Amino acid sequence: MKMTMKRTLALFALGGTLLFSACAKEEANENTNDLAEGTEQTTPEEQATESARPEVVGGIQVITVKVTDMKYEPANIALTAGMPAKIVFDQHGTTACAWDVMSEDLGIELTGIPEGEKTPVEFTPEKAGTYKFSCGMDMLRGTIIVEDDGTTGEGTQL
């Protein structure tokens, strides 16, 4: 009986290990696919090509970013330096993480955005560069690529 019980426990342990390994491998494959499709390994110029471009309304670059519990849509935005911009964060997240949008570089600090609200942020990006924005816990991430309009100098700050 002791030997049968030991074998049963060993089989359960082995089965659990195999199941865990299979799940971890599947998750690693998904992460690899996400990375391959993402913009983390591209240059700023390539990111700008793949980034969503705003509509220009009355001389202002306007784009809406949908905020969900899992991501920003679009997560990558291309703006032109020297032209006023307005990003409208359209809140659809139900978790506390999605309720905040932060960027030191851009001077954005939105907290407690209620679900269903559209919150605009207006600024003028002065210098070309790559700028990050994220939720308060840095789990949701976005990038703004500011392209030089030909009249501003290259830089990394707004």
**Strand 76-80 with 85-91, pairing:** unpaired
Contact present, 31 and 55 (Cβ < 8 Å)? no
DSSP 148: P
Read off the pTM: 0.64
Domain layout of the chain by residue ranges: 1-37, 44-147
The fold of 44-147 is Immunoglobulin-like (2.60.40)
Q: Give residue-wise pLDDT tens across range 89-103.
A: 999 998 888 889 999
Whether residue 62 has pLDDT greater than 90? yes
How many whole angstroms from its chain centre is CA 62?
19
- pLDDT for position 8: 55
How many C-beta neighbours within 10 Å does residue 74 have?
Answer: 17
Q: Give per-residue pLDDT as tens, 92-151.
A: 998 888 889 999 888 889 888 888 999 999 999 989 999 999 998 899 999 999 999 765
Residue 26 CB-half CA count within 13 A: 6
134 residue type, one letter: S
